[in-house]
Structure 1
Amino acid sequence: MATTLTAGRKSVLITGCTPGGIGHAIAEAFHAKGVFVIASARRIEVLEDLAAKGIATVQLDVTSKESIAKCKEEVTTLTSGKLDFLVNNAGRTHTVPATDLDMDDVRATYETNVFGLMAMCQAFVPLLIEAQGLIINVASLSAVVPYIFGASYCSSKGAVVSYSRCLRQELRPFGVRVTVVMAGTVRSNIANKVLPLVEGSLYEPVADLYEKRQRYSQTNNTMDTAVFANRVVNNALRPEVPLLLRAWMGRRDWFWCGGMSWVVWLGTILGEWISDMGAWRTFGLQKLKDYLVKKRIEREQLAKTAKQE
């Protein structure tokens, strides 16, 4: 672990800093800007490369109340009770058709993506108030588009968006800001593990589309992780400006970044039908519809033939 924070230097705590992911890259980007970085992960040994660069590292499981409390104690000591930035990046991917979901698996997704994030904000608000700091909640474009086969993940990120909007208003009197990162496709380890469809799934006829969907974020306009991280950090370090000007200058409340981000943003302006049509075409569900129509016609023809006989 690194030494305590020196006077006049800003500090940041980042969750989910496993190598190869967004959090790891954000830690390096903040460090390069001279910010005192505290990187965290469930297994602290995976952070050895960051520690070698002079970055403080702590063990943290955002789904554990005890782990969060211990992390808060360590961070309080390191920063003398003030935290300028909290980056809630830790997340869990979940690509399964809505009709195939295992509810225990859904709960695990929400424990990390939603409840863990809420618990982190609640625990570290006192330190953020002392610094009049910034909370950065990493959401996703999937919060506002029908990302096929991602109902659990999409809804968890939608919850992050709604929670962040309320949190922003509640913390405004205390001088604490909340930025939501609407992350697009970014290079990461998210697609390293491709899961097969459950046996008997309604989507077995288009299993190839399901497999392709699981790799979508890594094969479509995917932004380099370091580029994404630098843009997020640069936004965080921008100066404060009046509310009406934040969409054009200064630190933004909503930061759209990553592959496809501006396309999806435009879709939210033009209307929901754009997102629906885009998702339908992008993920090829017409193939399944055509298959089902063909099967229905075949059944009707067989029934008609049997009746004539």
Structure 2
Amino acid sequence: MPETTDTRRSVLITGCSPGGIGNSLAREFNRNGLRVLATARDAATISDLADLGIETLSLTVDDPENVKLCFADVEKRLGDKGLDYLVNNAGRNYTVPAMEVELAEVRQTFETNLFAVIAMCQTFLPLLIKAKGTIVQIGSVAGIIPYVFGSVYNASKAALHSFSDTLRVELAPFGVHVTTIVTGGVQSRIARTDRSLQPGSLYSPIESEYLTRVKHSQHNAMPNDAYARSVVSQVLYGSAPWRWLWPWARGRKNWIWEGRASWLIWMLSGGWAWSGLFGRVMTKMFKLWKIKNAPGK
């Protein structure tokens, strides 16, 4: 594809399969006038987005060589422009009692939910620095609370949150921001509802409760499109309709809490009190401001 002179802000989104969060985010960014590059393992599966004029690419996030090929494709498409937004949405769920997990699945969950995100950030950093762009990480309330039977998924999201908090501080001198979306209950294809306890499980006496838990995140879940409208509004404009109580809270946010029960967990966990504090302390302690003020920056 030849280079273009497209002047729109650009966003690359992973995990855009139909029916999921990424698909709705792609549609909403497109509705807001951005140049959207949507990915899935097979671009043919997201023809619904291509029909809207959205550029679709094949990408397997946990394949390092495939990530590099995607970067080359995106770089060529953008020409001399940088990438304004990278949305790391692709993820994998795993709802199994902690003492009954299969280590191969544990490793694959972390491969997709954490290591692939790190690889995407590393690979696309040159384009993000060029645009002084924003990395958007799709996190989860599961990384904040002990969501029973989800220990592995919870841990992968907690690791993503911690990685992103540190990354935010380290990239600030280069003008790149990192926003973590702490997602509550949202309609999503990530929830696997076909799981059952293994024979002889310690939790057999509460098997019916376990099966309820497997589907729990989808109970009264926020519709994908409503979630996408709120998240995109906050990512692009720093505010959301229901946050009218804080009209001064503008600019690129560190954390965005959205989805069913996310506001309650935000309140109970004290997320309103400490966001950004330790980042400022680390910046001062280790003099990261010297990078920003270095000649040529």
> Match of 1:116?
116
* Number of the residue aligned with 2:169: 169
Report what 1:82 is aligned to: 82
Q: Structure 1 runs of 4+ off > 3 angstroms?
A: 3-7
1:135-191 deviation digits (Å, cap 9, x = unpaired) = 000000001100000000000000000000110011000000000000000011233
Asked whether the equivalents of residues 10 and 35 of structure 2 are also in contact (C-alpha less than 8 Å), the reply is yes
Q: Describe the SS at the equivalent of 2:56.
A: strand
Aligned to 1:103: 103
What is the aligned-residue RMSD (CA, Å)?
1.9
Equivalent residue runs for 1:142-291 within 5 Å: 142-220=142-220, 222-238=221-237, 248-269=249-270
Matched residue, 2:140:
140
Match of residue 62 from structure 1: 61
- 8 Å Cα contact 2:138/2:181 also seen in 1: yes
**Alpha-carbon distance in 1 for matches of 2:208, 2:136:** 36
Distance 2:247 2:114 in 1: 26
Q: 1:53: Cα distance to partner?
A: 1.0
Deviation at 1:6, TM superposition (A): 3.7
Q: Aligned equivalents of 2:66 and 2:192: distance in 1?
A: 27
Q: TM-score, normalised by structure 2?
A: 0.85
1:92 aligns with 2:92: yes
Is the partner of 2:256 in helix, strand or coil?
Answer: strand
Task: Tell me how far apart the structure 2 counterparts of residues 21 and 237 of structure 1 sit (CA, whole Å).
Answer: 21
Per-residue CA distance 1:1-33 (angstroms, 9 max, x = gap): 8x8554431000000000000000000000001
The C-alpha deviation readout for 1:196-245, integer Å capped at 9, x for no partner, is: 1111211011000110001111114x1110010111111111169xxxx9
Three-state SS of the structure 1 residue aligned to 2:129 is: helix
Partner of 1:24: 23
TM-score w.r.t. length of structure 1:
0.82
Partner Cα separation in structure 1 for residue 4 and residue 150 of structure 2: 41
Structure label with greater radius of gyration: 1
Query: Per-residue displacement from partner, 1:58-77 (whole Å, max 9, x unpaired)?
Result: 11011001110000001001
How far apart are the structure 1 equivalents of 2:3 and 2:100? 48
Any gaps of 5 or more consecutive residues in structure 2? 240-245, 272-297
- Give the structure 2 partner of residue 14 of structure 1: 13
Shift of residue 248 of structure 1? 2.6
The count of corresponding residues between Structure 1 and Structure 2 is 264
Rounded Cα–Cα distance in structure 1 between residues aligned with 2:132 and 2:138:
20
Match of 2:270, SS state, is helix
Contact 2:91 2:190 survives alignment (8 Å): no
Identity over the aligned pairs, expressed in percent? 44
On the 8 A contact 2:193/2:215 being kept in 1, the answer is: no
Greater share of helix: 1
In 1, distance between residues paired with 2:222 and 2:16?
18
Structure 1 residues 5, 22: CA separation in 2 closer, same or farther (over 3 Å shift)?
farther
